Amino acid sequence: MILVTLQATIATTLFELRRSITGQTISAAVILSLFPPAIMFLIFRIVNGPIPPELILAILLWMVGLLALLLWVPPNIYSELEGQTWILSTSRPYGRASLVLGKYFSAIIWTVLVESIALMLTIIVCAPFFDLTPYIFGFAKVILLAALAYGAVFSLLGVVALKRAMGFAVGYCLVSEMLIAFVPAMVQKFTIQYHLRALSFHWISDFGASRIDDEQFANFFNLFEPLPIWANVLALLGFGVVLMTISITIANFRQYITHNEA
């Protein structure tokens, strides 16, 4: 059972990546990859303010990661439904699990690829103004963990909301990641961004916080009562594992009605 699911998951992942090589997706990837270097370049040329460049880059890459996943997961699920191929994939042994996992892993690969290109381009473009190379591995680790966690959230939304997944995903980003994540209360620990901020602080840079006596700023990076690194990593991986388990369970028990019956 595990072997069949694994092989089918790999097949689905490769298939999703293979069929994503279209003008539309390549254009999206190019635009997303160019977004951070372009903004960083403009900031260095025009503003060059006091905000640390690595902080701006972290925010830009976070946005690119969310956008890349938004552009990948919901349309992928929607196209499967619209193309009426869902019924074929799920009529394979353990096909539902491998379908959900395959789409999840392909989304992660796509997102990490786009963000990595964006990071490399930014480093190259910003080289005359600022050396970002010391932050590469920190960014890489955060990018990967962010993709794993956010990918799981969007996969779950895709399985639950189906055609409305895009709307729900945007709603989730606005409410959870842009609102609740900044509420100075216990509830922010249940957002992905909270843990990403903490890990960014540890792995990438202190973003100048140590030089600034600003409680708000310190709070932003969870400098008060901070969780240890392993706890943040575990929380993000936990998001991925738990949400994907829920997604697979829902997919296994959900009944999918075809147009003929609707």
Partner 1 sequence: MSSLIEMDHVTKLYGSVIGLNDVSLSLPEGVYGLLGPNGSGKTTFINLIMGQLRPSIGQVRIMGSNPSWQGAYLRDIGLCPATDIHIPHLSGLDWVTNQVSLYGIPKRRSRQLAIEALKKVRMEHAWDRLISSYSLGMRQRCKLAQAIAHSPRLLILDEPFNGLDPIGRIEMTDFLQKWIENGHSLIMASHILHEVEAVDCSFLLLTGGRLLASGTPTEVRSLLENIPNQVQIKSADARALAPHVMSLPSVSDVKINSASDTLTVATEAPRALAELLGNLVSTHGYRITEVRPEDESLQSLFSILMQIHRGER
Enumerate binding residues for partner 1 (CB under 8 A). 1, 3-8, 11-12, 14-15, 18-19, 21-22, 82-85, 87-96, 98-99, 252-253, 255-261
Nearer to partner 1, 93 or 228 (CB): 93
- Amino acid 117 reads I
Rounded least distance, CB 84 to partner 1, Å: 4
Residue nearer to partner 1 on the CB measure, 59 or 246: 246
CB distance 236 to 195 below 8 Å: yes
Tokens 């103004």 sit on residue:
129
For residues 85 and 210, which CB has a smaller minimum distance to partner 1 in the complex? Answer: 85
DSSP class of residue 47 equals: I
Q: What is the CA radius of gyration of the chain?
A: 20
Helix ranges restricted to H, the chain? 2-19, 23-42, 53-82, 86-89, 95-126, 136-161, 165-172, 192-203, 215-220, 229-253
Q: Which is nearer to partner 1, 93 or 128 (CB)?
A: 93
- Of the pair 6, 187, the CB lying nearest partner 1 is at 6
**Residue 200 Cβ vs partner 1, minimum distance, rounded to whole Å:** 37
Distance CA 28, CA 72 (A): 10
- Contact at 8 Å (CB) between 40 and 56? yes
